[in-house]
């Protein structure tokens, strides 16, 4: 079952902030990606993962810039592919990191990837040229992309230990769970990604054939937010999806996961969520996908999502997104 993925409009606005800073109009890109520009004004609005990836692809292709206008020098398409290719053949992740950092510095002068080791952790700090303040999304994008690249080189597994962010906690911080899925520390001297330093000794497990496959869908592989598969939140969400069209309650879910109700609640609280929140997020994501991609009636959709009637579903949908379900569909078509 392909999990539904939706993305907060905060990250859509962030993705567009580079071209907006240059005075370019963003509406044509949104419309071509199937996103109504009016959604930019919705604080709680969301788009599907497919729309988000389509927007990124459009920006890269039309601007001919892998950096989508966030760097003073345009990153010619293929820059990230070149960085990955430079790491192939490295004996371990530590050497691969050095090669990637060196190649990245050849393409731009805005930010340096500085390797660090502290208290059993290692990673990269982002040192921006001249200490200039950069858009929050630029920090988020660089951390997300380079973590994904390293994880891919290491065979697909590189659990992040922490992400540092060199700015105040944003109002959309609650949406970071699937973008930077680890402990977050704001107001740090440098933005940084951290993981267990023992991973530096991991061999690079990729070759040219694997690289070509990965590059065949780079936006999906490195841009789209993802959840940590090893979290209790993910285990609950997967169980809910596999149980459809039924909607299990907390008690039955805890039994399937071989936990007491209180233990599951405690684990979810440590991850900053609750069972009901996960259930509502899944319903929200499924609803947005169905509204955007089909002509299903609101009554049928309400039953699919486990609501007693259309009115109950519409009340819930407005509380999730700030918009009525019907109006959301009209804007998203």
22-59 pLDDT, tens digit per residue, is: 999 999 999 999 888 888 888 888 999 889 999 999 99
Nearest-angstrom CA–CA distance, 133 and 57: 26
* Residue 258 binned pLDDT confidence (cut-offs 50, 70, 90): very high
* Residue 333 binned pLDDT confidence (cut-offs 50, 70, 90): very low
- At 126, phi and psi to the nearest 5? -95, 110
Tell me, what DSSP letter sits at residue 89?
T
Helix then strand then coil, % of the chain, to nearest 5: 55, 10, 35
Instruction: Write down the pLDDT at residue 276.
Output: 94
Instruction: Write down the pLDDT at residue 287.
Output: 94
Long-range pairs for 70-75 at CB < 8 Å and ≥24 separation? 70/18, 70/110, 70/134, 70/135, 70/137, 70/138, 70/141, 71/108, 71/110, 72/108, 72/109, 72/110, 73/107, 73/108, 73/109, 73/110, 75/107, 75/108
State yes or no: pLDDT of 226 exceeds 80: no
Q: Which residues of 52-77 are buried (b: 16+ CB within 10 A; e: fewer)?
A: bbbbbbbbbeebebbbbbbbeebbee
Mean pLDDT of 124-138: 89
Mean pLDDT of 143-172: 91
Q: What percent of the chain has pLDDT over 90?
A: 64
């Amino acid at each position: 079952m392909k999990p539904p993925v939706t993305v907060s409009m905060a990250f859509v606005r962030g993705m567009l902030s580079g071209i907006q800073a240059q005075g370019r109009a963003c509406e044509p890109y949104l419309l071509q990606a199937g996103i109504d520009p009016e959604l930019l004004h919705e604080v709680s609005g969301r788009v599907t993962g497919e729309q988000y990836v389509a927007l990124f692809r459009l920006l890269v292709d039309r601007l001919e810039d892998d950096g989508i206008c966030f760097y003073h020098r345009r990153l010619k398409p293929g820059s990230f592919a070149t960085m990955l290719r430079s790491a192939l053949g490295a004996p371990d992740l530590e050497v691969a990191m050095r090669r990637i950092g060196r190649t990245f510095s050849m393409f731009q002068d805005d930010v340096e990837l500085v390797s660090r080791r502290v208290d059993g952790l290692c990673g990269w700090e982002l040192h921006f040229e001249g200490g200039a303040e950069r858009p929050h999304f630029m920090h988020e994008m660089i951390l997300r992309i380079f973590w994904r690249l390293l994880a891919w080189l290491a065979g697909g597994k590189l659990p992040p230990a922490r992400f540092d962010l060199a700015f105040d906690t944003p109002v959309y911080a609650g949406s970071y769970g699937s973008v930077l899925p680890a402990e977050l520390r704001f107001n740090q001297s440098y933005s940084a990604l951290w993981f267990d330093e023992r991973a530096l000794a991991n061999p690079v497990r990729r070759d040219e054939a694997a690289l070509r496959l990965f590059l065949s869908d780079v936006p999906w592989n490195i841009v789209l937010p993802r959840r940590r598969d090893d979290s209790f939140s993910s285990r609950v969400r997967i169980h809910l999806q596999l149980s459809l069209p039924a909607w299990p309650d907390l008690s039955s879910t805890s039994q399937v996961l071989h936990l007491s109700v209180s233990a599951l609640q405690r684990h979810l609280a440590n991850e900053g969520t609750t069972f009901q929140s996960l259930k509502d997020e899944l319903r929200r994501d499924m609803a947005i996908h169905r509204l955007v991609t089909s002509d299903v009636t609101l009554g049928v959709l309400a039953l699919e999502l486990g609501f007693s009637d259309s009115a109950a579903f519409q009340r819930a949908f407005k509380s999730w997104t700030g918009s009525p379900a019907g109006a959301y569909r009209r804007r998203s078509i």
